[in-house]
Structure formats: C-alpha cells, structure tokens
Structure 1
Amino acid sequence: MSHSVAGEPPSAGRRAAPLTTAVYSAAEWDLLVSLPGRVLVATAAPGPGRPERGVRAGLAGLDAVAAGRASDSDLVRAVVAAIYARHDGTSPPTERLADPVDLLATCRAASRVLGRRADPADSAAYRQWVQSVAARVCRAVPGPGERRVDQHATPADRRFLDRLGAALGLG
C-alpha cells in the first residue's frame, strides 16, 4: 500500500505520487512551487498601512502551506511535496520576495501557466490555496512579547488580499 506525503494512507481515489508535474516545464514548476513561500514572505513583510508581523504570523503561513497536504487537488499536494523536498538552500534576495509589485506579476504569470496546463479544478484549488496562505498570515494573532495588532485584516491588508486575489484570477 502506498502512503501520502504525511505518512498516512491516501484517501480513496487519491494517488500517492500524482503525475501532474509532467505537464509543466522546469521553469513553470519552479514558479508554482516557489509562489506559496513568496506569498507568505510578502504578506508577513510590513508595508504602508500594514503592520510588521510576528513569529506567529509566519507560523500561520507555514501551517497554511502544510494544509495543502490534505487538499483534494493532486496539483496542490504535489506542490506541497515539492516544497518539503527542496533542500537546495537557494532563494532570491528577501527584498525581491517581499516586493508586492513583483509578487503580483508572479501571481499573474502562475495563473497564465495554470490556465494553459492545469485541469480547471486543480487550477482553482491551487490559486485558492495560495490566497489562503496570505489570508492566514493577515489573521494571525501575535504571540507573547509581539506587538499587538487588530487580529482582523487592516484596510491595507484587505487591499493587498484583494489585489492578490485579482492577480490570481480569483476576483
């Protein structure tokens, strides 16, 4: 019997190793695998009207990424597995990761790739999952010793989430 990434038996009808990656070029796959982390970093970074986030916000984002392991989407599960399998230690400079203009352009590029290559259900699941990472970071409650901010999204957070959703083709 095969096992899922989390070590549990796969649900009925789920493949342990989805074949979804074969339809993407290496550059396209790298784009899809790196986007959730970039969204987490950019959402946690302070910006105009957006507070600096604490450790709990980062952990909430990581938890949202990990939640993709339980997705019904083969694509989302494959991306999460690839994220956890990466150990190359390379990453773009933090400034680029947190740049919202660059992030939104990357989201639009990922949406175009998904539109060309992905099953519509997988495409929708991936895009919704990526936006859920940002939403969970915005809603994270600060931990002890971290600056308290309203646990509801600020108006600037809502604008950021709206722009992210539009770039992902969700709104």
Structure 2
Amino acid sequence: MDTGELVGVTNGTRAVGWRVWTVQESRDGVRLGSVIHDAIWTPGSPARAGCPHDERHVVPDASCNCGFHAARDPVDTFSYLYGRDEPRTLCRVIGEVSLSGFLVETERGWRASEAYPWRLYVGDARIAAALAIYGVPVLSPGCSSGSAMTSKTGSAGSPTSSYGAAPMHSSRTAASG
C-alpha cells in the first residue's frame, strides 16, 4: 500500500488506521491473515513486523517499505478487498487497526512495528462470530456488535486492555484536519 511521502517518525505513540485482512481457516480456527504475506494474526497479542530486506534496521525504517501498513482513509484500502486468494481463504474483511511501537507517518497513512485489529467490518454473521476471538468490536449486518465482541481481556486500546496505554492518533481526526 502506497501511503505517500514521509511526514515523521515516532516511538511510543499509537495510531488507528484502516487495512484489509484475509479471513483464513487454520488448524486453530478462523483467523485474520495478511493480504500480502503468508502470516496469521494471533488473537490476544499484537503482531510484530520484521523486514524481509534488512534485518539490521529498526522496523519500520523511513527509507524502507517494511512494517504494518494502514491508511488514513478506508477508500485507500478498497483495492485490497479483491485479489487472488489461497484455498484456505474464506473472504477478505476491512477494519481499523491499532498501530504502535515505532511509527512512520506518511501523507496517507502509517507504517508500524506492532499492530492489532481495532474494529472489524464483516459481511457474514458466522465469520463475524468466529472473529470475536480477537476481543475487538466486529460489526456485521447479520450480527449485533455486542454479541460479536465478547472478550474477557477487552479490546485493543480499551481501558481494560494493557495494549491501550500510549497516546492515540485516530484516522478519523487525522483525515479531517
């Protein structure tokens, strides 16, 4: 995802942006996966990025394209909703992602060293219910958000989650000003 020119680099702040995931059937159940890489997002803990080009630099690096990508505007992610999927891919979903650790801010989004789903938008009630394992709001036309977000650990960034302690930059406020 091309997110434009560099704006700045920070550490210890958070941002919420938009991205697309694959929904995959794994041996552990239904899980979110990367659209680009062969990677499953583990429920309950943030995903940590590595650099496939240079393991020696901090991820993400301003001069590299590594890290978890997220857009300020959901429209910038729509092209990732369609593509060639692996046989285990059930569908693709759009959602908001909480980015943390080292952040590279760009004109149209961010790249980060750590990421966790923040809110998911799912068209199928059965898949929405299966994705409730991530402990974040899962919104679906056939499923009330309350029934799909049951979690004892709280959602990423919620007051009950240890994952939400740092300052947060929202894509909703960033896109409007």
The question of a shared fold, defined as TM-score above 0.5 by the shorter chain, is answered with no
Richer in strand (by share):
2
Q: Larger Rg: 1 or 2?
A: 1
Richer in helix (by share):
1
TM-score range, shorter chain: under 0.3
